[in-house]
């Protein structure tokens, strides 16, 4: 299969590495001017100069409304393709678009509540009524209901979703010194601790979105895209103190690695389909599999979920396949949304609802575009797509 950036697999690799698996539980199992109010002016070019902060209230931008598919509740358009899954909180759907805007839609009817513009594509997580946004080497927190800024700080991280756990924001980045993880207070933005792994060779370090398990922040880091990377490693960091608990070498090319966790284990996925698991307490290697075609790694309940074209749930302690799901004549290119013990998996055909043991509960036909991720709440499922739209659907298993 051709692996150029323009094909579906190349696209999925880029999107999944940024987003991981989407959860509505607040923890996602992963820098100077700032955002401004969106006006009717066109989107600036990528070479536009930096601006000073605009503190005026966010407003909705005049973007045309797309045609609503028959099976959907509503649809709304951004100004460019959406490459990240949306997130939901307090009856609001948040969508970070490649037009460098963060859109907030009312989950019930799709009404645009507010829009904020950033210097680069925003990556967003939500917790406690707060949207945590990473863009252009700054981290911002916004009120979910109004879009008003609560605080903003410089950040070495730029291209992954913030990890938010128990009132702390964790950001993984590369720095001059090497791999770095920074913990900040969600309420104030103050730094709690900084973990740095020195780079004696002064080569480029790549760090992906971290994961959290049993009081340990787990992150993978490596030196560029060397094949194989002899410097790739996984780290376990105490979430309270920032002290390194363990470091374990990864004997695979780091390129596309992201980390997920479940059942006391952290699982790292490589860019050649290999995955490996580490005990989060000791860092001991538990198992490795190289027989799977894997493009995203996440978790649901006590299972690790991996996928590309099909979903597999793995026992986190052994790596054995617990169940597998393949869509009917469709490909599962984007990570599913997780709500409680239910998965919502968009495909190139229908949207699938699955129980935590992989049993189908229902389907809803989707649009004629490539879905890039989903989020779910008690009222429905919200699917982003590369046609610049976000769509709201009823739960597929709810019946007519």
DSSP string covering 220-279, please? EEEETT-SS-TT-EEEEEETTT--EEEEEE--S--TT-EEEEETTEEEEE-TTS-EEEEE
* pLDDT tens-place string over residues 151-205: 999 987 777 889 999 999 999 887 666 678 999 999 999 999 999 887 655 445 5
- Residue 120 above 50 pLDDT? yes
306's torsion region: left (phi>0), alpha (psi -120 to 50) or beta? beta
Q: How far is CA 167 from the centre of its chain?
A: 18
User: Which residues neighbour 153 within 8 Å (Cβ) at sequence distance 6 or greater?
Assistant: 31, 138, 139, 184, 189
Residues 324 and 315: beta-carbon distance below 8 Å: no
Q: pLDDT digit string (tens) for 89-99?
A: 999 999 999 99
- 288-299, pLDDT tens digit by residue? 998 887 778 888
pLDDT value of position 250: 77
- The secondary structure of 191-202, three-state, reads EEEEEEEECCCC
| Gap between the Cα atoms of 332 and 294, Å rounded | 11
Cα 170 from chain centre: 13
Q: Any idea what DSSP says for residue 188?
A: T
Asked if pLDDT for residue 255 goes beyond 60, the answer is: no
Distance set, CA 237 to CA 30, 172, 214, 221, 371 (Å): 14, 12, 11, 13, 34
DSSP three-state, residue 165: strand
pLDDT of residue 205: 59
pTM of the model: 0.83
The predicted model gives 96-124 an average pLDDT of: 96
Expressed in angstroms, the distance from the first to the final Cα of the chain is: 39
Of 235, 236, 273, give the one whose Cα is nearest residue 253. Answer: 273
Q: In terms of Cα–Cα distance, which of 230, 205, 234, 229 is closest to 217?
A: 234
Bigger pLDDT: 231 vs 39: 231
Q: Which two tokens stand for residue 276?
A: 């490996």
Chain mean pLDDT for the chain:
80
Instruction: Say what the pLDDT of residue 230 is.
Output: 53
- Please report the pLDDT score of residue 257 as a whole number: 55
Q: Can you give the residue ranges of every domain in the chain?
A: 8-39+57-398
Residue 143, judged by CB atoms within 10 A of its CB (0-12, 13-18, 19+), counts as: middle
Q: Which residues fall within 8 angstroms of residue 86, CB to CB, at 6 or more apart?
A: 93, 94, 95, 373, 374, 375, 382, 383, 384, 390
Over residues 54-76, mean pLDDT: 69
What is the pLDDT, as a whole number, of residue 65? 73
Q: What is the pLDDT of residue 361?
A: 94
Q: 114: helix, coil or strand?
A: strand
Q: Which of 120, 117, 123 has its CA nearest to residue 101?
A: 117
The mean-pLDDT minimum among 29-38, 57-66, 97-106, 202-211 falls in 29-38
pLDDT at 49: 29
pLDDT class of 270 with cuts at 50, 70, 90 = low
Query: What mean pLDDT is predicted for residues 307-334?
Result: 87
The residue with greater pLDDT, 132 or 7, is 132
26: confidence class by pLDDT, cuts 50, 70, 90: very low
Which stretch, 126-140, 154-168, 218-232, 267-281, has highest mean pLDDT? 126-140
- Range of lowest pLDDT (103-107, 268-272, 330-334, 390-394): 268-272
Cα–Cα distance measured from residue 64 to residue 367, given in angstroms and rounded to the nearest whole number: 17
Residue (of 335, 377, 228) closest to 12 by Cα position: 335
Among 112-126, 176-190, 361-375, the least confident range:
176-190
Name the burial class of residue 171, with classes exposed (0-12), middle (13-18) and buried (19+) by CB atoms within 10 angstroms of its CB.
buried
Q: What is the DSSP letter of 350?
A: E
- Cβ–Cβ under 8 Å, residues 88 and 127: no
CA distances from 332 to 128, 230, 312, 346 (A): 31, 32, 11, 6
Tell me which CATH homologous superfamily contains domain 8-39+57-398. YVTN repeat-like/Quinoprotein amine dehydrogenase (2.130.10.10)
Q: How confident is the model at residue 12, as a pLDDT?
A: 47
Residues forming beta bridges with residue 375, ordered by sequence position: 382
Q: What is the pLDDT of residue 309?
A: 77
Q: Please check the confidence at residue 343 and state whether its pLDDT lies above 90.
A: yes
More confident residue, 230 or 365: 365
133, pLDDT greater than 70: yes
pLDDT above 70 covers what percent of the chain? Answer: 74
What average pLDDT does range 2-9 have in this prediction? 40
Q: How confident is the model at residue 272 (pLDDT cuts 50, 70, 90)?
A: low
pLDDT at 17 over 50: no
Question: Rounded to the nearest 5 degrees, what angle is found at the Cα of 77, between the Cα atoms of 72 and 81?
Answer: 110
């Amino acid at each position: 299969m051709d692996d150029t950036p323009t094909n579906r697999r190349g696209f999925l690799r880029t999107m999944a590495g940024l987003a991981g698996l989407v959860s509505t539980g607040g923890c996602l199992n992963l820098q100077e001017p700032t955002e401004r109010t969106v006006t009717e002016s066109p989107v600036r070019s990528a070479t536009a100069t930096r601006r000073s902060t605009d503190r005026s209230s966010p407003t909705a931008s005049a973007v045309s409304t797309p045609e609503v598919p028959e099976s959907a509740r509503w649809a709304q358009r951004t100004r460019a393709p959406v490459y990240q899954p949306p997130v939901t909180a307090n009856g609001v759907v948040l969508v970070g678009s490649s037009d460098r805007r963060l859109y907030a839609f009312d989950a019930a009817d799709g009404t645009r509540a507010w829009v904020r513009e950033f210097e680069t594509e925003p990556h967003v997580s939500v917790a406690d009524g707060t949207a945590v946004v990473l863009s252009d080497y700054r981290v911002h927190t916004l009120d979910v209901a109004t879009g008003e800024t609560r605080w903003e700080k410089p950040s070495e991280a730029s291209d992954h979703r913030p990890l938010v756990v128990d009132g702390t924001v964790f950001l993984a980045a590369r720095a001059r010194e090497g791999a770095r993880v920074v913990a900040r207070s969600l309420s104030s933005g103050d730094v709690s601790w900084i973990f740095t792994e020195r780079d004696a060779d002064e080569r480029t370090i790549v760090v992906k979105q971290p994961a959290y398990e049993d009081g340990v922040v787990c992150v993978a880091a490596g030196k560029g895209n060397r094949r194989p990377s002899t410097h790739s490693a996984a780290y376990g960091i105490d979430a309270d103190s920032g002290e390194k608990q363990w470091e374990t070498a990864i004997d695979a090319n780091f390129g596309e690695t992201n980390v997920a966790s479940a059942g006391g284990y952290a699982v790292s996925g490589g860019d050649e389909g290999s995955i490996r698991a580490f005990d989060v307490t000791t860092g001991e290697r538990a198992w490795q599999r190289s027989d799977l075609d894997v493009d995203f790694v996440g978790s649901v309940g006590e299972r690790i979920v991996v996928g590309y074209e099909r979903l597999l749930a793995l026992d986190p302690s052994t790596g054995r396949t617990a169940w597998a799901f393949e869509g009917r004549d469709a490909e599962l290119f984007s990570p599913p949304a997780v709500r409680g013990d239910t998965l919502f998996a968009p495909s190139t055909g229908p949207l699938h609802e699955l129980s935590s043991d992989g049993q189908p509960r229902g389907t809803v036909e989707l649009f004629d575009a490539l879905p890039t991720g989903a989020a779910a709440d008690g009222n429905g499922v919200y699917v982003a797509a590369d046609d610049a739209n976000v769509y709201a659907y009823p739960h597929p298993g709810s019946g007519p």
